[in-house]
Amino acid sequence: MSDDNKDLGDKAEDAFENAKEKAGEFAEEAKEKASDFAEDAKEAASDFAEEAKKTANEFSEGLKNATGGSDNKKILAGILAIVLGWAGVHKFILGYTKEGFILLGFSLISYVLACFIIGAFLAWIPPIIGLIEGIIYLTKSDEEFYNTYQAGKKPWF
């Protein structure tokens, strides 16, 4: 029986050595796959960084175009403020709908009240506001205009 135990012990040792080799091979494969995964992750991160830089450049280019395009909005708002300031059209152009309706409503009410003489005094206020704002818009630099009225959203003067 001791021979059987010896054979059984040898078989156990062989099985242990075989398992040890398989575990080593598995560990090597896991290291290789982890290394490949790390390289793929680095490559993906690099691609993501390049795309992020590209998107940031496009955004900054768009911002430059937007501020450059504010020149046309500045001139349009300035001229409309001088010509149609009583109606608040320049406020609508700049996106200030509430203020535009205030000027338009004040003008219409003052014209209706002109029948009662008090409206004749009130009717001059909206055109004067439009004239002043138009002159302010046209005398500001493009950057000042953009920062104040488009980015800063300053509704009056």
Count of beta carbons in the 10 Å neighbourhood of residue 90? 28
Q: What percent of the chain has pLDDT over 70?
A: 82
Give this prediction's pTM. Answer: 0.51
Contact 78, 137 (CB under 8 A): yes
Whether pLDDT at 42 is above 50: yes
Examine residue 118 and state whether it is found in any structural domain, yes or no: yes
Examine residue 157 and state whether it is found in any structural domain, yes or no: no
Domain containing 50: what range?
Answer: 2-151
Examine residue 78 and state whether it is found in any structural domain, yes or no: yes
Examine residue 105 and state whether it is found in any structural domain, yes or no: yes
Examine residue 22 and state whether it is found in any structural domain, yes or no: yes
Q: What confidence score (pLDDT) does residue 70 get?
A: 47
